[in-house]
Amino acid sequence: MWFNAEEIKETVEMIQEQRLDIRTITMGISLRDCIDPDGNKLARNIYRKITDSAGKLVDVAGSLQKKYGIPIVNKRVSVSPIAAIAEAGKLSDYVPIAKSLDRAAIDIGVDFIGGFTALVQKGMTPGDAKLIGSIPQALSETERLCSSVNVASSKAGINMDAVLKMAEVVKETAERTAGQDGIGCAKLVVFANIPEDNPFMAGAYHGFGEPDKVINVGISGPGVVRAMLEKYPDADLLRLAELIKETAFKITRMGELIGRESAALLGVKPGVVDLSLAPTPTPGDSVAQIIEAMGIERCGAPGTTAALAMLNDAVKKGGAMATSSTGGLSGAFIPVSEDLGMVEAVEAGALSIEKLEAMTAVCSVGLDMIVIPGDTSVETIAGIIADQMAIAVVNHKAAGVRLIPSPGKVEGERATFGDLLGFAPVMPVSKFSCANFVRRGGRIPAPLTSLNN
């Protein structure tokens, strides 16, 4: 036989017991050829381009899932930033475009559609301002739409006017979706250094440097890494790093296989494999529990940042060997509500927003899916976003902030979003004000990249 029994058993166990899956196949679609000054025509063009391009996406994913016996959890679409695509039109706001995107997503059966996006790290055009102003209504009146706004980059610095504006948008989006604990904010991310080829939501959009259509794949597999580490409780850290690399290699190969084949079947270019460990609320499928399997009693205890740094680096090293097309966010995700181990760590008092912020300095996302009290001020939200943007800008990495100021909720309560979005306890925020800082406006200049000590 080509494969020995151990190898076959390992693969089958990864999928059946350790919940290895392909987290998402995301088709990126350029909407540049849809631009039209007539708003109705623009919406129609967008609907047609998406349904024509990705109409078979769900069927292809289903057939590959059966052929290889590996679950493909999400099918998604990302599109060109709508702020740019709609700008030439005469629409007073972009809610009709949001609805057209949502309808296209529902009609082709994909789980999410991303790209209700503006890139404003250095300033805003009229189209950017209209898009940002449309976000609360757009997210409260659609089902599958995701929105992202890039407010900072290592080359441009941090647009603090945009940070404050986005804090207002986050707050209003939460209030408009108060009936579901502020779920609109789970579909809205404020970014620094946003990647153009990220397959993960809510930050997926189709960048201007991308081809007309492309397939990007996001892998998963925290459960596989945890199960591997638990087999070696006495291994030293160098050995652990090696084990994580080996496992990341195997997981990423699945992404490479599915990415190549789905792109060929759909007749589009294969894009990137995003080498991320993406947790879900299912027990065991947790990044926090990997850190705990490394020897930390509870995620958030001293040593957590070091453990996460090692995990993140080893995942990249193993994954980079498995595919030549890495991209997206690539690293370990540390959302709170989507990771049962993180939720338990918060409820045990081990994990705070401040510790999570430190952890974001060494991994691939930012403060993600964190529920804060509903009465948190716009200025405090802006301050939290600005801190995260600063970490990303100075460290030349991507980071997104998904905060949910859950209306009416206070510390000690929980907000529930369901499915992959999970639930989370309300985390306390600092009682001290940053209003005079964030209300200054203007831009924090780009950091110096030499004299780097």
Q: Work out how close the CB of 263 gets to other proteins at its nearest, in angstroms, rounded to a whole number.
A: 15
Residue 308's identity, in one-letter code, is: L
Helix (H) or strand (E) holding 383: helix 378-395
Site string for other proteins, 350-389 (x = CB under 8 A): ----------------------------------------
* Residue 410 within binding range of other proteins, rule CB under 8 A: no
Query: How far apart are CB 143 and other proteins at their closest, in Å?
Result: 29
Q: Which CB, 170 or 257, lies closer to other proteins?
A: 257
Q: Judged by CB under 8 A, does residue 437 bind other proteins? A: no
The residue written with tokens 């080996």 in the block is 246
- Binding-site member from 32, 41, 48, 67 for other proteins (CB under 8 A): 67
Question: Nearer to other proteins by C-beta: 3 or 437?
Answer: 3
Find the part of the chain contacting other proteins (CB under 8 A) among 1-9, 87-95, 311-319, 393-401.
Answer: 1-9
* Residue 3 binds to other proteins (criterion: CB under 8 A): yes
Beta bridge pairs of residue 26:
76, 216
| CA 136 to each of CA 83, 116, 146, 188, 236: distance values in angstroms, whole numbers, following the listed order | 15, 11, 11, 9, 49
Which region, judged by CB under 8 A, interacts with other proteins, from 2-10, 125-133, 266-274, 348-356?
2-10
Question: What tokens does 17 get?
Answer: 């017991």
Chosen residue from 7, 52, 107, 347 binding other proteins by CB under 8 A: 7
Is residue 366 exposed (0-12), middle (13-18) or buried (19+ Cβ within 10 Å)? buried
Return the range that interacts with other proteins (CB under 8 A); candidates 6-14, 108-116, 404-412, 429-437.
Answer: 6-14
- Alpha-carbon distance of 117 to 323, in angstroms, equals 28
Q: CA angle, corner 310, sides to 323 and 387, nearest 5?
A: 100
Complex with other proteins: residue 35 or 68, whichever CB lies closer: 68
CB 22, min distance to other proteins, A: 11
Q: What is the spatial distance between Cα 218 and Cα 450, in angstroms, rounded to a whole number? A: 34
List 35, 68, 99, 390, residue binding other proteins (CB under 8 A): 68
Residues 199-258 close enough to bind other proteins by CB under 8 A: 250, 253-254, 256-257
Residue written as token pair 């082709």:
108
Contacts with other proteins, 251-270, as mask; x by CB under 8 A = --xx-xx-------------
DSSP of 65-122: HHHHT--EEEEEEEES-HHHHSTTS--SSSHHHHHHHHHHHHHHT-SEEEEEEEE-SS
What's the rounded Cα separation, in Å, for the pair 190 and 386? 10
Q: How far is the CB of 91 from other proteins (least distance, A)?
A: 45
Check residue 8 for interaction with other proteins (CB under 8 A): yes
Residues 10-49 that bind other proteins (CB under 8 A): 10-12, 16
Q: Residues with Cβ < 8 Å from 349, sequence gap 6 or more?
A: none
For 81-221, strand residue ranges (E) read 112-119, 145-153, 157-159, 188-192, 213-219
If the CB atoms of residues 17 and 107 are measured against other proteins, the closer one turns out to be 17
Interface with other proteins (CB under 8 A) = 1-5, 7-12, 16, 63, 66-70, 250, 253-254, 256-257
